[in-house]
Structure 1
Amino acid sequence: MTAAPPPPPPRGAGFHFAGGSTAVLLIHGLTGTPGEVKPLARALARDGNSVYGVQLAGHCGTEADLLATDRHDWLDSALDAFDRIRRNHETVFVGGLSMGALLSLMVAAERPGLVAGCLLYSPTMFYDGWSIPRASIFLHLALVLGLGRFVRFRESFPHGIKDERLRAKIVSQMEAGRSADAGLLYMPGLSLRQLLRLISTLKRRLPRIRTPTLLLHAREDDVTSIRNAAYIAANIGGRIEKILLENSYHMITIDQERDLVADHSAAFIRRIGPASRAAVMAG
Structure 2
Amino acid sequence: MIQDSTFFLPGNRDGVLLIHGLTGTPTEMRIIGKGLNKAGFTVYGMQLAGHCGDENDLRQTTWQDWYQSVEQAADFLSEKVDNVFVAGLSMGALLSLKLAADRPEQIKAVGVYGVTFHYDGWSIPFWAKHFFFLLKWLKKLNLFQKTSFIEQPPYGLKDERIRQQVSESMLSGDSASAGLAGNPLAALAEMQYLVKCVKQQLPQIKAPCLIMHSSHDDIADIKTNAMLVQQKIQGTSKLVKLDESYHLITIDRERRRVINETVIFFNQVLNKPIDAINNLQSDEDIS
Does the 8 Å CA contact 2:204/2:234 hold for their aligned counterparts? yes
Shift of 1:274: 7.1
Of 174, 180, 183, which residue of structure 2 is paired with 1:178?
174
Q: Which of residues 204, 211, 217 is equivalent to 1:208?
A: 204
Paired residue type of 1:114:
Q
Give 1:235's match in structure 2, choosing from 207, 228, 232: 232
1:22 aligns to what? 14
Q: Which moved more, 1:263-272 or 1:134-143?
A: 134-143
Residue 281 of structure 1: aligned partner: none
After TM superposition, the structure 1 = structure 2 runs for residues 1-283 of structure 1, keeping only pairs within 5 Å, are: 12-137=4-129, 139-146=131-138, 147=143, 149=145, 151-227=147-223, 228-273=225-270
- Secondary structure of the structure 1 residue equivalent to 2:145: helix
Residues 75, 148 of structure 1: CA spacing in aligned structure 2 closer, same or farther, 3 A cutoff? farther
Give SS of 1:149's match: coil
Counterpart-to-counterpart distance in 1, 2:249 and 2:146: 31
Q: 1:274 to 1:76 in 2, by over 3 A?
A: farther
Task: Supply the distance in 1 between the matched residues of 2:146 and 2:16 (Cα, whole angstroms).
Answer: 38
Alpha-carbon deviation of 1:121? Answer: 0.3
TM-score of the superposed pair, with normalisation by structure 2:
0.90
What code does the residue aligned with 1:185 have?
Answer: A
Structure 2 distance, partners of 1:218, 1:141, is 24
Corresponding residue pairs, total: 265
CA contact (8 A) 1:119 1:215 kept: yes
Question: Aligned equivalents of 1:167 and 1:123: distance in 2?
Answer: 20
1:167, 1:59 → 2: CA distance? 21
**Structure 2: segments with no counterpart, 5+ residues:** 273-287
Q: Give 3-state SS (helix, strand or coil) of 1:37's partner.
A: helix
Deviation for aligned residue 1:151: 3.8
Q: What's the offset of the Cα at 1:150?
A: 5.7
Shift of 1:142: 2.8
Counterpart Cα distance in 2 of 1:21 and 1:137: 43
- In the TM superposition, what is the alpha-carbon distance from 1:109 to its structure 2 partner? 1.6
The 2-side partners of 1:109 and 1:148 are apart by 33
- Shift, 1:259, TM fit: 0.5
Cα shift readout 1:204-258 (whole Å, capped 9, x = no counterpart): 1110111111010000000001121111110112111111011000000000000
Gapped runs of 5+ residues in structure 1?
A: 1-10, 276-283
**How far apart, in 1, do the equivalents of 2:53 and 2:34 lie?**
24
Note if contact 2:24-2:180 (Cα within 8 Å) is conserved in structure 1.
yes
- Cα RMSD of the aligned pairs, angstroms, is 1.4
Worse-matched range after superposition: 189-198 or 105-114: 105-114
SS state of the match for residue 129, structure 1?
coil
**Contact 1:174–1:185 (Cα < 8 Å) also in 2:** yes
TM-score under structure 1 normalisation?
Answer: 0.91
Identity, in percent, stands at 41
